[in-house]
Chains A and B, each alone.
Chain A
Amino acid sequence: MAKTALCEVADQDLQASMAAFFRSLLALDEISAVMVPMHLPAKDMVMQTLVTDPEALDAVDPLAPSFPMNAARLVSRLTKRPAGGTVAVVLRPCEIRALIELVKLKQGLMDDIVVIGLDCPGAFKNTDYRKFAANEPETATGRFLKGALSGETAFGDGVEVPVACRACTHPVPHGADLSVGLFGIDIDKTFLVSAETEKGEALFEKLGLGEQEPPAKREETIESLVAARTAFRDEMFEKIRENTNTAEKLSAYLAGCINCYNCRVACPVCYCRECVFVTDVFDHDPYQYLRWARRKGKIKMPTDTVFYHLTRMAHMTTACVGCGQCSNACPNDIPLVELFTATASLTQAAFDYEAGRSLAEEPPLSAFKADEYADVVEITH
Chain B
Amino acid sequence: MDDFEPTIIAFVCNWCTYTAADLAGTSRLSYPTNVRLIRVMCTGMVDPKYIIKAFLEGADAVLVSGCHPGDCHYINGNYKARRRMKLLKAILPQYGFDEKRLKLTWIGASDGIQFARTIREMVAEIKTLGPNEAKHAAVV
Name the B residues within 8 Å of A317 (CB-CB): 91
Name the B residues within 8 Å of A346 (CB-CB): 90-91, 94
**Contacting pair A376 B82 (CB below 8 A):** yes
Q: Which residue on chain A has the smallest CB distance to residue B80?
A: A368
Name the A residues within 8 Å of B80 (CB-CB): 365, 368
**Contacting pair B104 A306 (CB below 8 A):** no
Q: Which residue on chain B has the smallest CB distance to residue A349?
A: B90
Interface-located stretch among A25-33, A49-57, A134-142, A242-250: A242-250
Beyond A250-B95, A310-B91, is A377–B140 a contact (Cβ under 8 Å)?
no
Give the complex CA separation of A157 and B111 in angstroms: 68
- Residues of B1-57 whose CB lies within 8 A of A: 48-49, 52-53, 55-56
Name the A residues within 8 Å of B70 (CB-CB): 370
Name the B residues within 8 Å of A360 (CB-CB): none
Name the B residues within 8 Å of A126 (CB-CB): none
Q: Which of A241, A292, A365 contacts B94 (CB 8 A)?
A: A241
Interface size on A, residues (CB 8 A): 50
Name the B residues within 8 Å of A249 (CB-CB): 96
Q: Which of A244, A315, A351, A370 contacts B86 (CB 8 A)?
A: A351
Name the B residues within 8 Å of A371 (CB-CB): 69
Beyond A248-B133, A299-B140, A368-B83, is A314–B105 a contact (Cβ under 8 Å)?
no
Q: Which residue on chain A has the smallest CB distance to residue B122?
A: A378
Measured CB to CB, the closest approach of chain A to B8, in angstroms, equals 13
**Contacting pair B90 A365 (CB below 8 A):** no
Give the complex CA separation of A245 and B52 in angstroms: 16
Measured CB to CB, the closest approach of chain A to B27, in angstroms, equals 17
Name the B residues within 8 Å of A298 (CB-CB): 138
Measured CB to CB, the closest approach of chain A to B104, in angstroms, equals 5
**Contacting pair B139 A251 (CB below 8 A):** yes
**Contacting pair B139 A372 (CB below 8 A):** no
The size class of the interface chain B forms with chain A is 35 or more
- Residues of B58-115 whose CB lies within 8 A of A: 69-70, 76, 79-80, 82-92, 94-97, 103-107, 111, 114
**Contacting pair A299 B138 (CB below 8 A):** yes
**Contacting pair B133 A350 (CB below 8 A):** no
Q: Which residue on chain B has the smallest CB distance to residue A306?
A: B139
**Contacting pair A369 B79 (CB below 8 A):** yes
A303 within 8 A of partner (CB):
yes
> Which interface residue of B70, B94, B137 has the most chain A CB atoms within 10 A?
B94
Name the B residues within 8 Å of A350 (CB-CB): 86-87, 89-90
Beyond A306-B139, A307-B140, A377-B104, is A247–B133 a contact (Cβ under 8 Å)?
yes
Measured CB to CB, the closest approach of chain B to A252, in angstroms, equals 9
**Contacting pair B90 A347 (CB below 8 A):** yes
A224 within 8 A of partner (CB):
no
Name the B residues within 8 Å of A307 (CB-CB): 49, 52-53, 56, 140
Beyond A310-B95, A376-B85, is A248–B56 a contact (Cβ under 8 Å)?
no
17 A-B pairs (CB sep. < 8 Å): A247-B97, A248-B138, A250-B95, A276-B49, A292-B140, A296-B136, A296-B138, A304-B140, A310-B56, A346-B90, A347-B91, A350-B90, A365-B83, A368-B82, A370-B70, A370-B79, A376-B104
Chain A residues close to B by CB (< 8 Å)? 241, 244-251, 276, 292, 296-300, 303-307, 310-311, 313-315, 317-318, 342-343, 346-347, 349-351, 364-365, 367-373, 375-378, 380-381
Q: State the 4 A-B residue pairs at the shortest beta-carbon distance, nearest first.
A: A246-B96, A314-B48, A247-B134, A368-B79
